[in-house]
Structure 1
């Protein structure tokens, strides 16, 4: 009997080598693997293109101390699990997310995983934390969709000379940055980031890009890649982009609104025939977010400038409540409409910004929502007003409380919330709290102006 002549299946190493050869032939000289640390800051390692296969198979060595690196590149040893300078982990690119950067054509980009010596994710690998919550949803027969709105300041230089002066939503404002806007839309499309809209936002020289919703890990990857794409487009036009929560003391600040919805097969559970257009399960998902909101916000808006931005009556979501379409609500429910249909119903989280790690932000949102569904939590009535204009007695009567306004209050909220702690895991939760404390100590002897300046170009 004749032997089979079917072609041999290529090994992963052969596929990686082939991908590297194709990229090299197209002019790519390096591959940058990126992850976000516990301050929301993108960190990276770059290898020459001929090392791509090796990096994909074995990773690149990085210090195990990145989880306890604070916003200003200081290392805190306050977390017992990472209390010495010894140790190394392997940063491995996620090859199926590899993208040649349109705005930096000599480089390709990939998100990374942090693996231990045994090849499994370390307890500090934020991407794996999010994947665990996605698996938890799958085991319950559910899927999650998520998307980001990214606000940013666009300046002519690092001294904050505005690239445009508004007005908000004006075509005239975009006209002043026409070349940048055109390049940005083209680069985002080429990098595989689907955009819903681009417009001039409220406040001097601010813009917003809305990224189309997808599965949570892809949403976090796209958010990270969008930052790189925006920075590169700005640089090529002689401009500077800042995603900082607050760019200057008098400014509005940059919100990164996080949208999520929960699905069973093809049914969006955020839409139904219950009160306010919610299904019973969708209401419990939202109730879970509301219950855990103080701890969620400590992850999604964690920096000292984040706390400066969370002001009442500023569309920042300073108090813990929910509303239907209410822009003052930290949890803004967007119901189904006749025009858009049930697939567009979702909840928007507004205490969220660039100082949050996107994988952790999505993980705690999903974890809280799923816990609400597990417990069949009831949702209180929505509030359709600006509660910041109410008296304290009126807020107290409806149990509307201010979200944490100091780092100590955020740390207490995290310490006391067992559900969010379980999402993070004890090691990562400990490292995250240590970093937040380190940032707080750095800010103690500085004016708020100096603190904001110290964060302005980090993200």
Structure 2
């Protein structure tokens, strides 16, 4: 490996790279990083970079909570290991290369709080059942001018229109070019519904690559925005009273190369196993959402009528549904069908969010579950009695409710493991304590630039 790393270092030096950013996501979805000089990359690849284990108990505002007994002192050290096969030179920051990292204990052994390993375990579990999962993100974000007082969107013209993207055409041109050079495939980029809001759809990959690409796309967007005097916010809610930013998580499941979400005789072409995958997601949805949209501002975003997945139900191409089935069709071709998780946003650690989604879906297949009938209306317009008759409830709407859902669901809490699950709980409770004396406007403003 040493020779290969030295060759990589020599190539980076020739390209003018001076530093390598090694990035990971914490329990708040916030990207953390260390940068090593390029000539120190070989050492970092061999023995890692020293970091505090307490990053697992940083809350969203950088307070360190000692509410988790496993990490209750300032002592200790762990190693951050760059994933060398994912290293790229950053097109928008040509003096730097970038790689995602995973964490190990000081002696190189497994570290219970490493989110990447949590996802790896679920990918391995799916593979042992003969299943392959693919995942992709739709990433919504909003752009403002750097010198704005508060949040001043770059454009508030017609939603989805070319005038909106014309306002940032230099940024958009650089972004698409940089993403391509950084190896992140893009389906489309467009102006979205909210003021100054845009959406980027990333090409689906295996789950680990999808999570890596989510972090890399975020880095690329921030760099492109800075180059054009702009600032990007991925916060689940940038201003109260407006639509928020979801990072909609799309997954598909296949066996022997055949997508199980299409080609069957079930509703909208679902096979029996595809229906069971969806039913597993629906069964564990309250606990899944506690991981995929965990922040206090996530709860402010998730409101009926805002296409954010407030109620726990599924529908085919129903954008109000928390689980939206995108069916396959002859016109779109084989393999297109997928399930979109609406309650997913930038405050989620992408590795943990994907891990619990895979676990829920695979458990559904293992248990031969059958989903209820799809709902094609907006249950938010129904009466309480009508929703009760259909078995449709609001997803958890407070931190306590989310944590209770996660604790009560042993399938999902076991995915995290006892140590990480308790650290995750402590962080969420610390965030809730921070938010308690603040107004919704103050909470939103306090999260605007975290992601």
> Is 1:328 the counterpart of 2:316 in the alignment?
no
1:316 to 301, 308, 312: 308
Cα separation, 2, equivalents of 1:172 and 1:448: 32
CA-to-aligned-CA distance 1:248-280 (integer Å, 9 cap, x gap) = 112201011000010112100011222221000
2:128 to 118, 139, 145: 139
1:413 to 391, 397, 405: 405
2:157 to 163, 166, 175: 166
Q: In the TM superposition, what is the alpha-carbon distance from 1:311 to its structure 2 partner?
A: 0.2
Q: In the TM superposition, what is the alpha-carbon distance from 1:108 to its structure 2 partner?
A: 0.4
Cα separation, 1, equivalents of 2:241 and 2:18: 43
Q: Secondary structure at the match of 1:77?
A: coil
| Equivalence map 1:110-259=2 (5 Å) | 110-157=99-146, 158=148, 159-259=150-250
CA-to-aligned-CA distance 1:147-168 (integer Å, 9 cap, x gap) = 0000000111343221122312
Q: In the TM superposition, what is the alpha-carbon distance from 1:448 to its structure 2 partner?
A: 1.1
2:436 to 439, 444, 452: 444
Cα separation, 2, equivalents of 1:279 and 1:166: 43
Q: In the TM superposition, what is the alpha-carbon distance from 1:422 to its structure 2 partner?
A: 1.1
| Equivalence map 1:18-97=2 (5 Å) | 18-97=7-86
Instruction: Indicate conservation of the 8 Å contact 1:149/1:256, yes or no.
Output: yes
Instruction: Indicate conservation of the 8 Å contact 1:40/1:355, yes or no.
Output: yes
Q: In the TM superposition, what is the alpha-carbon distance from 1:398 to its structure 2 partner?
A: 1.0
Q: Secondary structure at the match of 1:104?
A: coil
CA-to-aligned-CA distance 1:437-457 (integer Å, 9 cap, x gap) = 000000111111111111100
Q: In the TM superposition, what is the alpha-carbon distance from 1:117 to its structure 2 partner?
A: 2.5
Cα separation, 2, equivalents of 1:377 and 1:356: 27
Cα separation, 1, equivalents of 2:151 and 2:11: 41
Q: In the TM superposition, what is the alpha-carbon distance from 1:66 to its structure 2 partner?
A: 0.6
Cα separation, 1, equivalents of 2:445 and 2:306: 21
Structure 1 runs of 4+ off > 3 angstroms? none
Q: Secondary structure at the match of 1:342?
A: coil
2:4 to 3, 12, 15: 15
Cα separation, 2, equivalents of 1:371 and 1:139: 13
2:350 to 332, 355, 358: 358
Over aligned residues, Cα RMSD in angstroms? 0.8
What is residue 396 of structure 1 aligned with on the other side? Answer: 388
Q: In the TM superposition, what is the alpha-carbon distance from 1:174 to its structure 2 partner?
A: 0.8
Cα separation, 1, equivalents of 2:110 and 2:340: 30
Cα separation, 2, equivalents of 1:243 and 1:171: 21
What is residue 334 of structure 2 aligned with on the other side? Answer: 342
Instruction: Indicate conservation of the 8 Å contact 1:331/1:347, yes or no.
Output: yes
What is residue 456 of structure 1 aligned with on the other side? Answer: 448
Cα separation, 1, equivalents of 2:274 and 2:89: 39
Instruction: Indicate conservation of the 8 Å contact 1:166/1:200, yes or no.
Output: no
Cα separation, 2, equivalents of 1:308 and 1:156: 24
Range that drifts further, 15-24 or 187-196: 15-24
What is residue 368 of structure 2 aligned with on the other side? Answer: 376
What is residue 294 of structure 2 aligned with on the other side? Answer: 302
Instruction: Indicate conservation of the 8 Å contact 1:137/1:144, yes or no.
Output: yes
Cα separation, 2, equivalents of 1:261 and 1:75: 37
Cα separation, 2, equivalents of 1:18 and 1:202: 47
Range that drifts further, 356-365 or 165-174: 165-174
Q: Secondary structure at the match of 1:362?
A: helix
Q: In the TM superposition, what is the alpha-carbon distance from 1:172 to its structure 2 partner?
A: 1.2
Q: In the TM superposition, what is the alpha-carbon distance from 1:304 to its structure 2 partner?
A: 0.5
Cα separation, 1, equivalents of 2:237 and 2:385: 30
Instruction: Indicate conservation of the 8 Å contact 1:62/1:90, yes or no.
Output: yes
1:107 to 80, 92, 96: 96
Instruction: Indicate conservation of the 8 Å contact 1:113/1:121, yes or no.
Output: no
What is residue 293 of structure 1 aligned with on the other side? Answer: 285
Q: In the TM superposition, what is the alpha-carbon distance from 1:188 to its structure 2 partner?
A: 0.5
Cα separation, 1, equivalents of 2:61 and 2:164: 34
> Is 1:265 the counterpart of 2:219 in the alignment?
no
CA-to-aligned-CA distance 1:271-314 (integer Å, 9 cap, x gap) = 12222210000000000000000000000000001000110011
Aligned length: 448
CA-to-aligned-CA distance 1:399-422 (integer Å, 9 cap, x gap) = 101000000000100110000011
Q: In the TM superposition, what is the alpha-carbon distance from 1:241 to its structure 2 partner?
A: 0.3
Report the TM-score, using the length of structure 2 for normalisation.
Answer: 0.98
Q: Secondary structure at the match of 1:145?
A: strand
